[in-house]
A and B are shown apart, each in its own frame.
Chain A
C-alpha cells in the first residue's frame, strides 16, 4: 500500500489532457499571486491537511494553527510549484516538518523531549476528534493514539495510515530507517496494549 499523494512526479511534463487545463489555469493563477486561485486551492486541500495536522497534534487548536502556517508558507512559495500534485505533496511535507519544529520549540521552552508522553493533553481544547457517527471504539483509538509519544504516533500514522515506507519516514522525521522500524514496532505494541 503506498499513497499516490506521496509519490514522485513522473518526470518532465507530458501533454496535458483537457481535464487538467483547468488545474493548470489554477496553478498559473497561484504563481501570479491571484488570491482567488489560492482560495480555491485552500478549499480543495484544507480538509486533508487539517486531517493530517489533527492526527499528528491530537489538538484542534494546534492543528488549526499548523494548517494556517502551512498555507501562509505555501503563498510565500507560490512561484515554486511545478504542478498541483507538487503543491499537494508540499503541503503535507511542510505540515510534518512544521509539526516537528513546533515540538522542538516547545521542548526548548519546557525542556521536554519528543519522546515524552503527551497523553494528558486532551482535555477541553484538545479532545480527540471523532467524526460524526463513529462508535465508542473509534474514541478509544483516538485516545490511544493521543497517548503515544509524538514520535511514535508520527511513525505509526505515516506508515499505517498514509502508507509511507520507512526510508521516507526516516527522511521526514530525521531518523534512520532502522530507527523508524524500531519506532513502528514500539508504537504498534503500545497501541495494542492500550486498546486491550
Chain B
C-alpha cells in the first residue's frame, strides 16, 4: 500500500467517528388533512411548514449521537420522533453530537404538537392548533392557526397570532406577540412581554420582574388584567378607548393619559397609589397591579 493511501486511510478512519451515524434523511408518509402531527426532537432544530398535500415530508439530518428517525402514523395522524440516549439529557452544553435538524412539511389544516428540550422551533403556515413545549430553544410561530400554546423555560418566544387565541408560559424567555386579537394569556417570571394587536378581548399577563408592554386596541367587551411585582407596565391605547381603569401600585408611580380629571389617590396604606376611573361603559375592564414598578398608560 502506498504511503499516500495509508495516510488517506488513517485520516478517513480518524474522521469516521464524527461522520458515522450522521444521516441525511428524506421520508414521506400519507397524513390526514386535519389529523394530528406530533414531532419530538430533543436537540437541534425543528422547522415546520404547512402545505396543501395530505402528506408529511421529513427532510433533514439526524445527528451522529441520536437514534434513528421514527416516522409512524395511522388515520388519526403522524408521529415523527428522533430519540437520543437518556444519559445525554443533562448535558445541555455538550449536545452538539445529538442535534438533529428536521424540516417537516405537514398538511396545513393539521393540529401540531412539538416537544423538544434544546431545539429551536419555527412554524409557519399551519392552520390547525399549534402547541410547543420546549426548555431552552427559541420558538417562532407565524401560523394563522386556531390556537397557539407555547411552554418554555429560557427560550424566546415570538408569535404572529393572526387572531388566534394564544397562551404562553416562560420563566426567562422574552415573549413577543404580534397580531393579537381575542384572547391572550401569558405567564412569565423574568421574561419581557411585548404584545401588539387589535380588538383584544381578553389579555391576561402575570409576571414577576420582566417588563410588560401592550400596544393596540381593545374589543368592545372583555378585559385586560396585568399583575407584576417589579415589572414596569406600559399600555399604549387609542385615545378613543372606552373602558373602566383600575390601576394600583404599592410602590411604583402611576401615569395616565386617560381620565385626566381623576387624580391618582394615595391610599391609607402608604406608599400605595391607585387610579380608578372610566372613559365609557364597564363592558371592558383594564386592571393593572404592580408591587413597586411604574404603570404608564399612554394614548395615541
Contact = CB atoms under 8 A, between A and B. Distances in A.
Interface of A: 107-113, 115-116, 175-179, 181-182, 185
Interface stretch (B40-48, B61-69, B126-134): B126-134
A177 B147 contact: no
B165 interface: yes
Interface residues on B, range: 20 to 34
Given A110-B113, A113-B129, A182-B201, 15 more contacts: A107-B129, A107-B131, A110-B36, A111-B36, A111-B111, A111-B128, A112-B147, A113-B165, A116-B129, A116-B147, A176-B204, A176-B223, A178-B284, A179-B201, A185-B221
Given A179-B183, A179-B202, A113 B221 contact: no
Nearest to B151: A108
B113 A182 contact: no
20 contacts: A107-B131, A107-B149, A108-B113, A109-B113, A110-B113, A111-B36, A111-B113, A111-B129, A111-B131, A113-B146, A113-B149, A176-B285, A176-B287, A177-B223, A178-B221, A179-B183, A179-B202, A179-B222, A181-B221, A182-B221
Interface in B212-269: 221-223, 225
Nearest to A108: B131
A111 B112 contact: yes
Contact of A175 (B111, B129, B147, B202): B202
B106 to A, nearest CB: 12
Contacts of A185: 221
B113 A178 contact: no
A126 B161 CA distance: 34
A65 to B, nearest CB: 22
A179 B224 CA distance: 9
Nearest to A185: B221
Given A176-B202, A177-B285, A178-B202, A111 B221 contact: no
A112 B129 contact: yes
B222 A115 contact: no
B287 to A, nearest CB: 8
A179 B130 contact: no
Interface of B: 36, 111-113, 128-131, 133, 146-147, 149, 165, 183, 201-202, 204, 221-223, 225, 283-285, 287
A183 to B, nearest CB: 9
Nearest to B284: A178
A108 B147 CA distance: 12
B34 to A, nearest CB: 11
A131 to B, nearest CB: 35
Nearest to B167: A113
Contacts of A182: 201-202, 221-222
Given A176-B223, A177-B223, A182-B221, A111 B183 contact: no
A107 B225 CA distance: 24
B3 to A, nearest CB: 60
A190 to B, nearest CB: 16
A176 B225 contact: yes
A144 B161 CA distance: 30
A34 B204 CA distance: 44
Contacts of B129: 107, 111-113, 116
A107 B131 CA distance: 9
A109 B133 CA distance: 11
A116 B133 CA distance: 20
Contacts of A176: 202, 204, 222-223, 225, 285, 287
Contacts of A109: 113
A116 to B, nearest CB: 7
Nearest to B76: A110
Q: Which 6 A-B pairs have the closest CB atoms?
A: A178-B223, A111-B111, A113-B147, A176-B223, A111-B129, A179-B202
Nearest to B112: A111
A179 B130 CA distance: 23
Contacts of B222: 176, 178-179, 182
A177 B149 CA distance: 22
Contacts of B111: 110-112
A4 to B, nearest CB: 28
Contacts of B112: 111
A135 B67 CA distance: 60
A181 B220 CA distance: 12
Nearest to A183: B202
A112 B131 CA distance: 8
A107 B287 CA distance: 29
